[in-house]
Amino acid sequence: MSGRLEDVARWSGLSVERLRDIEDGPGPFNVNEFEQICRGLAVSPGAMYRSEEKTPALSVLRFRSALEETGPLNFRDLRLLTSIACFGRTLGDLANLSRYPIPFTKFRETIGVDSRLELWEQGYRLGEAARERLGIPAGPLESVEGILKELGVHVARIKLDNSTIEAASLWEPGAVPIILLNTKVSRVHYGLARRAILAHELCHLLHDTGEENLTTYVSSAEGDGNYSTDIERRARAFAPAFIAPRDQTRRRLQKKKRIRLDNKKLVRSIAKDWGFSWEGAAWHARNCNYIGPEKAKQLSSQGYRPRDEDWDESFETEMSSGYPPQLMSSDLPSEVSDVCKGKAELIISSAYMQGDVSLGRARELLSWE
């Protein structure tokens, strides 16, 4: 722990002096202090006691292979990711105790990469099929985040030191699925980009798995590139198809025949109707067979800047605004940590109101960092 005692002290609630005494040993070391240190390091006390701290689900090892493309993380970032994975397990336990519905689990289906199809085509097929399986009505989606909330997926905002990480998807049996958005990345604050990021992560949650049936995918910020991996390229194609299935896009454009005579008007119409960035709409037009790849590349490179896109405020209008106070117990704090804003608030409030957790424990969970 040397060199990190200040961080561990802040996270565990023990003083630096006490941690130094414990590190130097062999003085008395009580059970409460052991638990506080484990929590501060985001390691399960039970797992540490049983020498299971190297089990991927219970330690930072879970993120080792997932971070091959983004590079190593510092101790703070690894601790934060591992802590939120633990938070997902805690939320899952609360949801189970209070019989809070998490519909996501009945839609999850692990699907491997199909070598017979191009990756973009497989991603498009999965995205279109997901719309149908989830029972989403035809037409533009006002909020992808709203769909995720209905599925019981918790979308959390965190700030990592590593700015190459854009988002992450975490799930395991019994846990509440979590999508993390790194607020250090500017695209997360831009509604049209954020909806694409969330749809991308939904593909991982629905269809991808790894060691010990854990879903742990960490996606790079655009341009910092783990889009070279098959799983990431497939998820990248899933996103536009989920937002705007090809047959629905074509039917909508058939009513605007004049637009098809002008490629720029066609791309702008797709972007404005369905909630794409200009670049995203250009490539979606190509994948709907309206323009060729060279034209899509040309149009995407000369597109509108975000401040010029007059449709961006029509989609993903919420930015972690939480839930209306009437859905939360009045005993609980109205201000909660950014990690908890969203679905977690309702799960914790429901568990408290049904007597499954104490008021003190509920308040502690709502301040999780």
List per-residue pLDDT tens for the chain, 369 residues long.
444 677 777 767 778 888 888 777 766 677 677 767 776 666 656 555 555 444 545 555 666 555 655 556 677 787 788 888 889 999 999 999 999 999 999 999 999 998 888 999 999 999 999 999 999 999 999 999 999 999 999 999 999 988 888 999 999 999 999 999 999 999 998 889 999 999 999 999 999 987 667 788 888 876 544 456 889 999 999 999 999 999 999 999 988 776 666 888 899 899 999 999 999 999 999 999 999 999 999 998 876 655 556 787 788 876 445 565 556 677 888 788 889 988 999 999 999 999 999 999 999 899 887
Measuring CA to CA, which residue among 89, 38, 2, 54 is closest to residue 211? 54
User: Which pLDDT does position 3 carry in this prediction?
Assistant: 47
User: Which pLDDT does position 53 carry in this prediction?
Assistant: 47
| Those residues with Cβ within 8 angstroms of residue 210's Cβ, 6 or more apart along the chain or in another chain | 65, 66, 216
How much is the pTM?
Answer: 0.83
Measuring CA to CA, which residue among 180, 207, 193, 181 is closest to residue 104? 207
User: Which pLDDT does position 56 carry in this prediction?
Assistant: 47
CB atoms within 10 A of CB 40: 20
CB of 247 within 8 A of CB of 195?
no
CB atoms within 10 A of CB 317: 13
Measuring CA to CA, which residue among 168, 235, 165, 234 is closest to residue 200? 235
User: Which pLDDT does position 2 carry in this prediction?
Assistant: 44
User: Which pLDDT does position 24 carry in this prediction?
Assistant: 75
Q: Identify whether 26 is preceded by a cis peptide bond (ω within 30 of 0).
A: yes
Which tokens belong to 235?
Answer: 């998820």
